[in-house]
Amino acid sequence: MSEKKIDTDLYSRQIGTFGMETMGKLIQMKVLISGLRGLGVETAKNLILAGPAAVILHDDAVCEMRDLGSNFYITENDVGKRTRAQACLEQLSQLNPYVAVSVHSGPITESLLSGLSVAVFSETSQADLVKWNEFCRSRSPAVGFIAVDAFGLASRVFVDFGDVFSCRDKDGEEPRSAIVAGVTQENPGTVHTHQDRRHGFQDGDWVVFREVQGMTQLNDGKPRQIKVTGPYSFTMDDTSSYSAYVSEGIVSQVKVPHSINFNSYSKSMVQPKHTGEEMHVPDLAKFGRSEQLHIAVQAVLAYREQHGQLPVVRDAAAATACVQLAKDLKEARRKDGADAIEEVEEDVVRKVAMLSRCMISPMAAFLGGVVAQEVVKFTGKYTPLHQLLYFDMFELYPPAEPTDCAPLGTRYDDMIGIHGAALQKALGNMKLFLVGAGALGCEFLKSFAMIGACCGDGGKVLVTDMDRIEISNLNRQFLFRQSDVGSSKSMAASRAAKVMNGALKVEATEIRVGPDTEDTFDDFFWDAQDCIVNALDNIQARLYVDSRCVWFGKPLLESGTLGTKANVQVILPGMTQSYGDSQDPPEESIPLCTLKHFPNAIEHTIEWAREAFATCFVEAPREANTFLTETEAYLKKLPSEGTGTSQLAKLNSIKKMLTQRDGNFSFCVEYAVLEFQDKFHDSIAQLLHTFPLDHVTSEGAKFWSGPKRAPSAIKFDASDPLHLEFVVSASNLYAASLGMPQNRDSAAIKAMASNVKVSSFKPKEMKIKVDDKDTTREGCDDDDAAVRKLSSEMAVLGQKLKDSKPLEAAEFEKDDDTNFHVAFIAATANLRARNYKIPEADFHKVKMTAGKIIPAIATTTAMVTGLVTAELLKIATLKARKVEDFKNGFVNLALPLWLLSEPLPPAKTNSKDHDPIIMGPVRAKPEGFTSWDKVLVNIGDATLKQFVDYMENEVGVEVMIMSAGNACLFNSYLPAHKKRLNDKVTEVWETVTKQKLSPKKSYLTLEVSASDPEDGIDVMIPTIKFQFRQPPPPPAPAPVVEASTEQSSGCCSAST
């Protein structure tokens, strides 16, 4: 298939992760998924969303009631009537119209496997796994083979892509580039890079050079492998015979394909480690666990081979038999000379055996994400699992065997088999707040429905999301369908989840969570919640929800994804850090001078183009509208805004727009050509006039060197496709601003553009900043006089046109490729890149960068929600838990890498003998308090003096400064503030903040800077909760406003 058949609207976020080359390979793949309990349907769902050509389902087992606890597409009507494959077919088919989904009934055959790209097997006998693995390996090219199984709280994944597999991109990261500052003539040669930015390379990376002067042998395009020696240096080939380095040069990372050798399934069961490799250790607290699980899983599978079935749930005798099988296997491996564990950990074997028949949603979701991503890796993108992953959630295993774990004939039987009916009931009565109903939110709602959370009489999940469904959401937000586009995310997701489990008590709202909605999400609301689950995509909202959880002492489950990467953070009251305790470093910003005059990377030109779009088609029409409505005030204010050069540009833009709005489209084409001339010819020619190519700095160094790339002006040529793209997009955007009909006839626009007369460039004496530290006032002094003259003309024009219809300002929309927004930015960015000899970018990269689109894929989302849901099950028994039971996590499926670890304790505030900020001692009161602690001041609606006296007499601190948020309520150092002492604290708050206290509000959140009244030493205390009145009684419980079970067209409608 060609790239033209890839739906870039649907797959835009996935393309941002995989790239177009991988998508081109993926849409040709044909995949078998055999076994459709929970992990099979999760794998199928994630893979179908990704978009292979075909997915074949295989599972001839008839649906059982317990299947409904992890397979979200099986209904009660399917139980005892349809096979799992048949029951899932309709819903899986509706996930992606570009994927042919079918069912294979009967035994697996060689002819079926022969036509596949990858085959995924679960719940398959050992004999069949060995047989089909050997067959897949014998094909040329090999058929990818994946075996995956879940045994309650333990699991294994096995991957085999043949004897030799070529991986063309090990990590999926964007290739990095650096500016060369020097190269030595030695063996090995040392390369030094410019110190404006770390090169970011790693040992073993391959790089190519271009534009090197002097040592031109490096410009041969040949990839060279490097060894990093520092953040600004690395070594490579022998350069002793090369010419001496003179100047310049760009070094860029390149992805060089490498071969990976895989062992067969039978060999890997005997020897799970490749030479020189260790098994994956997903949990840093469980070194050696993978080796133990390897033997335990083999023992349980051997039991199945002997008895024809897995051990019955919590069958102690069967578990003991499995322990003996594990010991026998270990001894046999030792005699055969294979690596063997020293001792079998019987407890591990028993836990695997006792629950081997159970399939729960958290494990299924985790495995479904991992396995579907491994299937995608068959395209050659990312490093495949090599070759075994063992993973357990044994923290969920009850410390004592529950007495109420017998099956009840319900969808929750597998859950009950693990933790008992009492805990299942507690789960059903949980009250959860889910913030966000996008990709993560959809997966969470599905998980809640599967595990029975909020499905009891006393339970409820409230989900809120302000957003509406867009086409690009359908690629990973699997509860939505085409017919839902434009609908509320929270409403549609809630309806779909309720179809999966009619007992789910779910309420949907579209109210934003923030300071302005605290009357809605009030104290009673937060106090009523058992846990908050974040499914957000922005830091500000995360920090706010985190602050609410800290204030009200509520558990918070935080997670996020970025392409193949994901993280999980468990936040427990008083036990762990909060989200706000540690934050990621801010994104690197591009220096203003780099953007304006000295770009050296495509990201710089894309950002410049994004600003050009805003200037020309957002700000310019708004400026014109302001001018029309307030001409006199606008012209009076203009001299104080920017330089004369920028003021002149504004006035000329307004004049042109207002005088051309009644013309024809040729005026728009003329505008576009003149903009081209200004942006890509005249401004560059002016820059080179100010700083000629041979210009040197005051220190005698070449000006155009290092990060400053010497540009060249571009002359407009209507026959150049990129030039024409700019004119077509710019002229149509200009027409839209003027309220004029657009013209999409490129040939006609080309003809008009060819007739536009362009004035020859005349240089000015301009002042230009050379870097962000330069205090030079940019612009041309002659422009000040021109502004004064033009202002007089504009005053007359404004009076004449004051009743004109306003112009239309564009609103940037990244997901509509027909609106010319991204088209303009792409053409502009690439033309500027051409000015500076920077490699140009394709349309999709520009779209992702300019639109600040976060790469996202269904596999990572499903995987991480499995981990989060496991933590939710622990929170259901939080009072009996230790912090060691919980797991934070970082995952990168591309590598692949899993790192689970115990959450960090909350940061403590301790006394210091010397604080570098205060320049003296600081005392903490109480010693070691954390962000979870607070001081309660419950003295009614007191005056400020009463509050200050209470703090001194009862808390032992003298209040120096008191604030609420950003508002300073009292400063003892300011005489004027002494007058406030007789006012009530609430009155001071209202006066300073200029807000009225809500009738629902019963307390204020205050911070104070204080000192010890005895010795004057500064004192730090927790946040203060000033209870100025007793809270009103909680409202009577309202009935749950459940989402309708009448499903939107095509979503979860089968067999309902």
The three-point CA angle 360-51-98 to 5° equals: 120
Strand 177-183 and strand 165-167: the pairing is: unpaired
DSSP code string of 489-530: HHHHHHHHHHHH-TT--EEEE----SGGGTTTS-HHHHHH-S
CA distance 132 to 113: 8
Biggest CA–CA distance in the chain, Å, is 101
CA torsion 202-203-206-209 (nearest 10°) is: 70
Strand 144-151 and strand 118-121: the pairing is: parallel
* CB-based burial label for 542 (10 Å; 0-12, 13-18, 19+): buried
CA distance 890 to 250: 33
The residues, ordered by sequence, that sit 6+ positions from 642 with a Cβ below 8 Å of its Cβ are none
Edge-first strand order for the sheet with 206-210 is 224-225, 206-210, 250-254, 177-183, 190-193, 233-235, 227-230
Q: Taking the mean position of all CA atoms in its chain, how far away is CA 400?
A: 39
Residue 108's SS3 state is coil
Residues with catalytic function: 593
> Per DSSP, which regions of 44-170 are E strands?
54-58, 100-103, 118-121, 144-151, 154-160, 165-167
DSSP state of 698: T
Tokens, residue 131:
């047989």
Residue 310's SS3 state is coil
Residue 485: phi and psi, rounded to 5, are -55, 130
Tokens, residue 443:
């997966």
10 Å Cβ neighbour count for 995?
10
CA torsion 1030-1035-1037-1038 (nearest 10°) is: -150
Residue 532 near residue 545 (C-beta atoms within 8 A): yes
* CB-based burial label for 598 (10 Å; 0-12, 13-18, 19+): buried
CA torsion 472-475-481-483 (nearest 10°) is: 30
The residues, ordered by sequence, that sit 6+ positions from 556 with a Cβ below 8 Å of its Cβ are 531, 532, 533, 534, 545, 546, 549, 571, 578, 579
Residue 581: phi and psi, rounded to 5, are -70, -25
